[in-house]
A and B are shown apart, each in its own frame.
Chain A
Amino acid sequence: MSAPYLFWALLFIVIPIALVIYYSLCTEVDGRMLFSWENYKRAFEPIYIRVMWRSVLLALISTLACILAGYPVAYIMASKEYSSKNLLLFLFLVPMWMNFLLRTYSWLTILEKNGLINTLLAFLGLPKLNILYSDKAVVLGMVYNFLPFMILPIYSVLKKMDQSLIEAAQDLGADSKTVFLRLILPMSMPGVISGITMVFMPAVTTFIISDLLGGAQFMLIGNLIEQQFLKVNNWNFGSALSVILMFLIIASVSIFSMVDKNNDEGALF
C-alpha cells in the first residue's frame, strides 16, 4: 500500500530538493550547466555573511524576547489559582486564524510617524518613537507573530507538572525563589526548548516580516533567496543559499533536540 506514496514522496519531496542541490552545484555557461563551487564561494563573501548573521541575530533576539515575555504568561496561566485557563488559551490561539500578512501589515498603522503609538506619546508629552523600517520593527513583528508558539509548549509542560513536588520542596523549607529556580524552571526546560525551536525556525527564514516592517533596503536570508529566484533569476545562487538555510535549520534542530534528548513532552501537536 505504500508504493503509490513512495512515488509521490519521491516526486514532491526528494526530487525537488535534489534539483535545488543540483542547481546549487552548477553555474550556467552559454546555456549549459557546469559543475562548480562558485555559488557557495559567493555565499560566503562578506556581504552575504552579514545578511546571514543578521538573520540569525534577529531571530535569536526575537526568540529571547519571546521567552522573556512568554514564560511569565505560561507560568501565570498554569498556576493553580488562575481559573480561566481555557479562555486564555483560546485567546492566544484565535489571532492565528486571521491572515498573518494582514496582521503584520496592521503594525504599520500603529508604528508609523503619525501612527497610534506616536499620537499616544504626543498626548502624554513624551518624545516620538521612530522604529518603523528598522530592525527593531522586524524583531517586534517576529515576537508578535511567534509569541504563541513559545507560550503554548511551556504552558503544556507546566500544567502537567506534579504539584506535590512543589509542596514537598516548600515543606522542606525552600523559599519561593528556590522552588522556582531549582524545581520549576529546570522541569519546564523541555517546553522552553520546543518553544525555542518553534520560534527560531520561522523567524530565521522569514522574508515577509522584514519586507513589510523592515523597509526596502532591509534584508534577511529569506529576502535574499526570494530575490535570487524571482527578481534576479539566478537560480544557482538562490539554490546555494537555500541549501545553506536548510543546513542551518538542521543544525539548530539537532542542537535543540540534543539538549532535549530524553524528553518529548511539550510538543504542540
Chain B
Amino acid sequence: MKAAKKLYLALILIFMYAPILILIIFSFNASKSRANWSGFTLSWYAELINDPSIMKALYNTITIALLSSAIATVIGTTAAVGIEALGSLTKRIVLAITNIPVVNPDIVTGVSLMVLYIYIFKFFPSLKLGYATLLLSHTAFNTSYIILSVLPKLRQMDPNLYEAALDLGASPAQGFFKVILPEIMPGVVTGAMLAFTMSLDDFVVSFFTTGSGVNNLSILIYSMARRGVNPKINALSTLMFLVVLVLLYLVNRSDSSKAKKESALAA
C-alpha cells in the first residue's frame, strides 16, 4: 500500500514536470526543432542577450510587474484604510466592486479594459494602446489583490490604537505611517508579492490591452507559437525558473532560521 501511494505521487509529479523538463532539455538542443534532438549546445544562452525582441519583452515584463505592483500597493493600501472607515452599506458595495477583477474571467477584464481605452482614445486620437495601457491594466487588477490582502489585517487591528495616537497629538499622516502601516505590513507584503506574480504571469489581460510592437514575454511566446517557439525563449525561461528556485530557497531558509531563533528565544 505504501509503495502504491509513492508510485501514485511519482506519476502525478512526472505528469507535472515532464513538460518543464522537456522545455529545459530543448534549451540545449543544437537545432531549432522542438521535436528532434540534434546535439548539445549552449549557443541559445549565449545569443539570448543579443536578441533585441526577447530582451525588450523581458524588460517590459519585469518593469511592468515592478511598477504595477508598486503603484497598486500604494493605491490599494490607502484604499483599504479608506474602505474600512466607510459605512456598512457603502463598504459592501465598494467591496463587491473591488472583487470584480478577481472573480471576473481574465478575458472579460481584458476586453472591457480594451474597450475603455479605445473609447477614450476616440476623443484623443493621438493616443494609442501600448506600454502605458499595459501598465494601467496591470495596476488595475493588481489593486484589487492588494486591497483584499490588506483588509483582513486591518480588521485584526485594534482601531483604538490609531485614535490613541491622534489623541496623543500625532497627525493623521503620522498615525498612518507609525501606527497603522506597521500593523498591516504583513498583508501589504503578501499583497505586493501576489500582485508581482500575477503581473509577471499574465497573458490574457496584456494580450488585449497592448498595442502593436509592445510585447511582454507571454505575448511574445504566443506570437511565436504558430511558427515554433525559438529555443532562446526556452533558455530564458530556464534561467528565470532557476532564479525563482534560488529565491524561494533563500526565503525559506531565512524563514526557518528566523523561526529557529524565535523558538530559541522563547525557550
Q: Does B149 lie within 8 Å of A102, measured CB to CB?
A: no
Task: Kindly provide the distance from the CB of A130 to the nearest chain B CB, expressed in whole angstroms.
Answer: 15
Q: Does B136 lie within 8 Å of A12, measured CB to CB?
A: yes
Q: Does B75 lie within 8 Å of A5, measured CB to CB?
A: yes
Q: Does B22 lie within 8 Å of A205, measured CB to CB?
A: no
B157 at interface by CB-CB < 8 Å: no
Stretch at the interface among A91-99, A159-167, A177-185: A91-99
Interface of A is mostly: helix
A168 at interface by CB-CB < 8 Å: no
- Tell me, in angstroms, the Cα distance from A269 to B102 when the chains sit together: 12
A37 at interface by CB-CB < 8 Å: no
B112 at interface by CB-CB < 8 Å: yes
Q: Which residues of B contact A13 (CB under 8 A)?
A: 97-98, 100-101, 140, 144
A169 at interface by CB-CB < 8 Å: no
- Tell me, in angstroms, the Cα distance from A263 to B112 when the chains sit together: 33
Most buried by A among B26, B101, B104, B109: B104
Q: Which residues of A contact B35 (CB under 8 A)?
A: 109, 112, 114-115
- Tell me, in angstroms, the Cα distance from A246 to B18 when the chains sit together: 34
Interface membership of chain A positions 109-136, coded 1 if the CB is closer than 8 angstroms to chain B and 0 otherwise: 1101011100000000000000000000
Q: Does B112 lie within 8 Å of A4, measured CB to CB?
A: no
Interface membership of chain B positions 92-128, coded 1 if the CB is closer than 8 angstroms to chain A and 0 otherwise: 0010011011011111110111111001000000000
- Tell me, in angstroms, the Cα distance from A76 to B4 when the chains sit together: 11
Q: Which residues of A contact B101 (CB under 8 A)?
A: 13
A235 at interface by CB-CB < 8 Å: yes
Q: Does A1 lie within 8 Å of B82, measured CB to CB?
A: yes
Stretch at the interface among B5-13, B44-52, B161-169, B258-266: B5-13
- Tell me, in angstroms, the Cα distance from A77 to B13 when the chains sit together: 13
Task: Given A106-B20, A229-B114, answer yes or no on A99-B79 (Cβ-Cβ < 8 Å).
Answer: no
Interface band, chain B = 35 or more
Task: Given A2-B82, A9-B98, A110-B19, answer yes or no on A73-B12 (Cβ-Cβ < 8 Å).
Answer: yes
- Tell me, in angstroms, the Cα distance from A91 to B13 when the chains sit together: 8
Q: Which residues of A contact B23 (CB under 8 A)?
A: 98, 102-103, 106
Instruction: Mark out the residues of chain A between 3 and 20 whose CB falls within 8 Å of any chain B CB in the assembled complex.
Output: 3-6, 8-9, 11-17, 19-20
User: Which one of A5, A99, A144 lies within 8 Å of B16 (CB-CB)?
Assistant: A144
User: Which one of A3, A76, A97, A101 lies within 8 Å of B218 (CB-CB)?
Assistant: A101
A88 at interface by CB-CB < 8 Å: yes
Task: Given A6-B94, A98-B241, A108-B34, answer yes or no on A205-B203 (Cβ-Cβ < 8 Å).
Answer: no
Instruction: Mark out the residues of chain A between 175 and 209 whose CB falls within 8 Å of any chain B CB in the assembled complex.
Output: 201-202, 204-205, 207-208
Specify the chain A residue showing the minimal Cβ separation from B23.
A106
User: Which one of B12, B19, B22, B143 lies within 8 Å of A69 (CB-CB)?
Assistant: B12
Interface membership of chain B positions 129-146, coded 1 if the CB is closer than 8 angstroms to chain A and 0 otherwise: 000000010001001100
A155 at interface by CB-CB < 8 Å: no
Specify the chain A residue showing the minimal Cβ separation from B176.
A1
Q: Does B218 lie within 8 Å of A239, measured CB to CB?
A: no
Q: Does B221 lie within 8 Å of A246, measured CB to CB?
A: no
Specify the chain B residue showing the minimal Cβ separation from A197.
B103
Specify the chain B residue showing the minimal Cβ separation from A222.
B107
- Tell me, in angstroms, the Cα distance from A14 to B109 when the chains sit together: 11
Q: Which residues of B contact A226 (CB under 8 A)?
A: 107
Q: Which residues of A contact B217 (CB under 8 A)?
A: 99
B30 at interface by CB-CB < 8 Å: no
B229 at interface by CB-CB < 8 Å: yes
Q: Does A5 lie within 8 Å of B79, measured CB to CB?
A: yes
A23 at interface by CB-CB < 8 Å: yes
Q: Does B222 lie within 8 Å of A109, measured CB to CB?
A: no
Task: Given A102-B233, A103-B19, A115-B35, answer yes or no on A8-B143 (Cβ-Cβ < 8 Å).
Answer: yes
- 19 further A-B contacts with Cβ under 8 Å, apart from A147-B15, A253-B103, are A1-B82, A8-B79, A9-B94, A11-B116, A12-B143, A13-B101, A19-B119, A76-B9, A88-B9, A91-B13, A96-B201, A99-B217, A102-B237, A104-B19, A147-B12, A205-B107, A226-B107, A246-B108, A249-B103
A-B contact pairs, 28 of them (CB 8 A): A1-B79, A3-B82, A4-B79, A8-B79, A9-B94, A12-B116, A13-B140, A17-B104, A19-B119, A20-B112, A20-B115, A73-B12, A76-B9, A77-B9, A91-B16, A92-B16, A95-B20, A96-B201, A99-B218, A99-B237, A100-B201, A101-B203, A103-B20, A104-B19, A144-B16, A208-B222, A230-B208, A245-B108
